[in-house]
Structure 1
Amino acid sequence: MTVNSNNDPDLETNDNDDLYEHFRFVADKGQQPLRVDKYLMNRIENASRNRIQKAAKDGNIHVNDSAVKQNYKVKPGDVVQVLFEHPPYEFLLVPEDIPIDIVYEDDEVLVVNKKAGMVVHPGHGNYSGTLINALTFHFENLPNNSSNRPGLVHRIDKDTSGLLVVAKTEHAMTHLSKQFFHKTTEREYVALVWGQPEESSGTIEGHIGRHPKNRLQNTVFEGDEAERGKPAITHYKVLEPLGYVTLVSCRLETGRTHQIRVHMKHLGHTLFNDERYGGDRILKGTHFSKYKQFVENCFKVLPRQALHAHTLGFEHPTKGEILRFQAPIPEDMEACLEKWRNYTKHQKD
């Protein structure tokens, strides 16, 4: 079997037919015995139970390099793979002439301001229109990262706007990746959250992992369950109280998937209009219809989670100097903030 891995572009040779790895998961130390079809349902977005069971029936689900049936019970440390005869669609990368907002560029690095709604890299269900599709059109010979994604050092969610650094050379890729690994980069986001934090600033520490019941969410695991997630630290500071919502600054010490969204919800302050985590409902405020209509209007102005990657700082890979960039709050988020400013002002009058 020849396995072309997402995580390792080199080929590994075994004895069976040619297969390509589409997904790979390593079960956590705290993993309770769980059928492999249910395990994969919790981890692969938009995957139906029927498709996963068919993959098992066809011998496409492997655990520890052996094909398993759908009722195999996943145990801690198991390496679960989904393999098919065709390569993953994200490998079939097509350059696309999509405009990019370039904040800074030299021979080594590129800093871009990503608009909300753009997926960073191709993946399940998003094979075109991504930032990487755009980058490969505008720039030749971008280095691949460990997941075979050209130029990509880190990422932000589809509906989050803001700053990303892209590596243009192998040296820059290695140097920047080490900075992110050792947590020496500066990443500050601004977010509008429901409610007002009790403290004007603070630190949220909580291991983040896949939600056991909602496969599209992550959650915080504490105490004896902490090992089910990965360590995550977010420093927050209140920037502007706006009645039933608050504008906050969040500085990342780690970079887990959905970290700010998960940590702020764990604190009791879900991001405004964050559909995936329940912020698209009225979580604070009155029951008056006029207020409900006001919030609905805010949702229409900002039809996404209120999160923006505002500041990005890192050491230049060759010059050694510290570069620091800021992207202004985008129009949709600013328009929503203005609505809340006017609302709270009239409430005081």
Structure 2
Amino acid sequence: MDTVKLGSQGLTVPNIGLGCMGMTGFEDSHMYGKADEQEAIATIHRSLELGGNFLDTADLYGPFKNEQLIAKAMGKDREKYIIATKFGWEIDDQNKVTWAINGSRNYIRKAVERSLKNLKTDYIDLYYMHRLDKNIPIEETVGAMAELVKEGKVGYIGLSEVSSETVKRAHAVHPITAVQSEFSLFERTVEEKGVLKTLNESGIGFVAYSPLGRGFLSGQIRSVDDLPENDFRRGIPRFQEQHFHKNLELVQAIESLAKEKNVTPSQLALAWIISKGILPIPGTKRRTYVEQNIEAGNIILSESDLSRLESIVPLGTDTGAPYDEFSMGLLDY
């Protein structure tokens, strides 16, 4: 796999990462269908064999089950992996998510020790603030994260779903290596709001989660009934009646171009992101898909290909909100 510099602080990663969220359930439900631990671990190992050693997780996923799964998959090979995890969604001492965001110094200290324990490691390569705590100055949160870097518990720090203004204020306290937000042919808010421009000017890397539009761009979802009964996507506007059929038409047009290129629609969508100098972290829990995703890193798109894709889904296309109303209210835009 090709490697890229993520930001300007020294972190080098493969040009496609592996999103691990779907490898474990969340509380009593499943994310993107039921997961199988054995296959999930085999997927992490296969990714490593192919050069895909950048794993993305968070304490929220499970909670904690995802980090624990990654620890199990790594075994004694911790040094072969680059691990990114996140804090911010408050999890109490009974391991329950309170649904508050906590960016206080004391909570960060507690969260990092918990993640280190669950990951069975003494350092985290990239530590993200999962969401902005709007009740605490970003300077205080980043200051606490910077202390972890000085202590060697964290290599680099990142933010998730933040505005240009927040990025600038955070970066003034301690260099930010990466910002992670949802980004795909179906979701380009960070581009519309000028966040990408700010990151480029500041030498900060950008990591795209849900680069396949939460699976829509894979072409495998033809009706809402294709989603498992307790799948959280059923509550997202993008997959609901007012947007679904229009989005399906867009996917079919993307599929036609993918067929011409002799690639899958997923690979085309990932190659488009990579062509922008952005690092996608598609999530999967199966070896077959991790192999396909990594192959996307070798696809070269011509200017004509890129223009055709942009004309199918122009910047500003409304494909429906990526979250429900509560979660949308936690984004910093």
TM, length-normalised to structure 2: 0.27
Higher helix share: 2
Asked which structure has the greater RCO (Cα within 8 Å, sep 6+), the reply is 2
Higher strand share: 1
Larger Rg: 1
TM, length-normalised to structure 1: 0.26
